[in-house]
């Protein structure tokens, strides 16, 4: 087990976004001061918000307008903290703006205009996102042999995030083109939130990849994103879930616009932490010859693969049986080649630090989301808490990570125990995310599969 100071020393960022003060004997890191690029970015965001308010204010209520205005300084701040995010937001804004212009107010043009049909309509862009995430996963694993492939994995992941985010923005507009009573922010059903989950998890991974100057974790983190992609494709084609539907009455609230994104920042970072925990255990057992020591890790990996087999209507789904088979083989292959993989992974201290930071960020946002959910429940149903199954399992998830952080900060929880706990946490989070919707009826039954 390693102490926190060692983790901080091993995890110094190697990018020019930070000013290193080590020449003065101080190893702390300070963010560079805002420059004129930040000012220009702020102006661009303000202009974009102004144009949006001018053209679409009739389709926005008071709260949506306030959220839009508040987004300008928040996004400017985020772009200052992480410079690549600015380029992403500008590119998404231009691409989504082009798609909206190509529609010319007619949704039928999605089948006749080349760029809409094959690239920038919401379904096309999201399908491209899915394909690029899968290709990125393959490249990251090949990257353990060829560093060039890992670099390509990063490029493909950025492209997937760009197209997925563009698709979500265009989908928002497409809903309004279908009718004023249909358009809504695309975070209202499982199809939309799975896209959101994939994008959030990928963005946080890309941040840590740059922050710690390592691509070795890409294959691990992209596995959980690829799992989300498999579900997304299955759900789209088996249930026609990609179709935009009017909101059910309970979701017609501005609370949804802030509760759901905060919730999925939690889900995304908890999933990222679990996959980093998997990498930690591979690193730790990289040179062990005892398969008995690897048995708990293999069992957990198989459980994570078998969990989606419950996504069925009648009998066992062939899709998820194949998923279970391939997933189990991937887990076995990672364990079999653990030694060369472990040699290329970052130090245990760095992996432990990423795991801790991911859970800390996720816990903060999940706490906010839970509070917002209670306020939303009071507004919609007249009570802050009713022990609905979804609420109960959200509390279980919260208590799980609260205990993890408490033991980390108060008792110095580190190493193997922390990693296994984070990995088990993904099982708990997965059930809270999907299992409740499938097996336990309640006030959140509108989210059923």
- Taking the whole predicted model, whether its pTM rises above 0.85 is answered as yes
Q: What is the structure's pLDDT at 75? A: 94
Rg (CA), the chain: 22
Longest alpha-carbon distance in the chain:
67
Q: Count H helices, E strands: the chain? A: 17, 2
The region, left, alpha or beta by phi > 0 then psi within -120 to 50, assigned to residue 25 is: left
What does the alpha-carbon distance between residue 122 and residue 112 come to, in Å, rounded to a whole number? 15
Give pLDDT tens digits for 78-129: 999 999 999 999 999 999 999 999 999 899 999 999 999 999 999 999 999 9
The rounded distance, in Å, linking the Cα atoms of 38 and 399 is: 39
Domain ranges for the chain: 263-449
Q: Which residues contact 410 (CB under 8 A, 6 or more apart)?
A: none
pLDDT tens string for the chain (449 positions)?
Answer: 444 433 343 444 444 343 333 333 333 344 567 888 889 999 999 999 999 898 888 777 788 888 889 999 999 999 999 999 999 999 999 999 999 999 998 999 999 999 999 999 999 999 999 999 999 999 999 999 998 999 999 999 999 999 999 999 999 999 989 987 788 889 988 899 999 999 999 999 999 999 999 999 999 999 999 999 998 998 888 888 888 888 887 777 878 888 999 999 999 999 999 999 999 999 999 888 877 888 888 888 888 877 666 555 445 577 778 888 898 999 999 999 999 999 999 999 999 999 999 999 999 999 999 999 888 888 877 788 888 888 889 999 999 999 999 999 998 888 899 999 999 999 999 888 877 766 655 555 555 55
Interior CA angle at 272 toward 364 and 320, to 5°? 125
What phi and psi, each to the nearest 5 degrees, are found at residue 13?
Answer: -70, 150
């Amino acid at each position: 087990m390693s102490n926190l100071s060692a983790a901080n020393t091993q995890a110094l960022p190697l990018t020019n976004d930070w000013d290193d003060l080590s020449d003065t004997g101080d190893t702390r890191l300070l963010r560079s001061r805002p420059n004129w690029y930040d000012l220009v970015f702020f102006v661009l965001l303000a202009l974009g918000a102004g144009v949006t308010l001018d053209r679409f204010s009739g389709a926005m209520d008071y709260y949506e307008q306030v959220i839009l205005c508040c987004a300008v300084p928040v996004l400017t701040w985020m772009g200052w903290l992480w410079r690549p995010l600015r380029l992403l937001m500008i590119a998404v804004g231009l691409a989504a703006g082009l798609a909206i212009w190509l529609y010319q107010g007619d949704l039928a043009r999605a089948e006749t205009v080349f760029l809409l049909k094959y690239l920038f309509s919401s379904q096309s862009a999201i399908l491209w996102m899915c394909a690029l995430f899968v290709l990125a996963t393959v490249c990251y694993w090949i990257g353990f042999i060829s560093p060039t492939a890992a670099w390509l994995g990063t490029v493909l992941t950025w492209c997937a995030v760009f197209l997925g985010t563009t698709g979500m923005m265009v989908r928002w507009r497409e809903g309004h083109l279908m009718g004023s009573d249909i358009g809504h922010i695309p975070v209202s059903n499982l199809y939309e939130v799975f896209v959101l989950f994939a994008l959030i998890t990928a963005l946080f991974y890309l941040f840590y990849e740059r922050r710690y100057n390592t691509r070795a974790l890409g294959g691990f983190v992209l596995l959980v994103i690829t799992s989300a992609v498999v579900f997304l494709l299955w759900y789209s084609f088996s249930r026609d879930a990609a179709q935009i539907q009017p909101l059910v009455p309970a979701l017609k609230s501005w609370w949804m616009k802030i509760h759901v994104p905060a919730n999925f920042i939690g889900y995304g970072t908890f999933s990222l932490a679990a996959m980093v925990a998997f990498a930690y255990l591979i690193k730790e057992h990289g040179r062990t010859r005892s398969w008995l020591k690897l048995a708990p890790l293999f069992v957990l990996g198989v459980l994570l693969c078998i969990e989606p087999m419950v996504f069925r209507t009648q009998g066992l789904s062939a899709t998820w049986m194949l998923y279970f088979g391939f997933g189990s083989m991937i887990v076995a292959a990672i364990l079999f080649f653990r030694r060369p993989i472990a040699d290329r992974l970052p130090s245990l201290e760095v992996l432990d630090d990423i795991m801790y930071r991911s859970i800390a960020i996720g816990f903060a946002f999940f706490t906010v989301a839970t509070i917002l959910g209670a306020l939303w429940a009071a507004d919609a149903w007249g009570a802050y808490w009713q022990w609905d199954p979804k609420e109960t399992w959200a509390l279980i998830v919260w208590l799980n990570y609260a205990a993890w952080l408490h033991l980390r900060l108060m008792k110095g929880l580190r190493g193997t125990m922390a990693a296994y706990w984070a990995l088990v946490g993904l099982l708990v989070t997965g059930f809270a995310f999907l299992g409740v919707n499938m097996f336990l009826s309640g006030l959140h039954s509108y989210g059923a599969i």
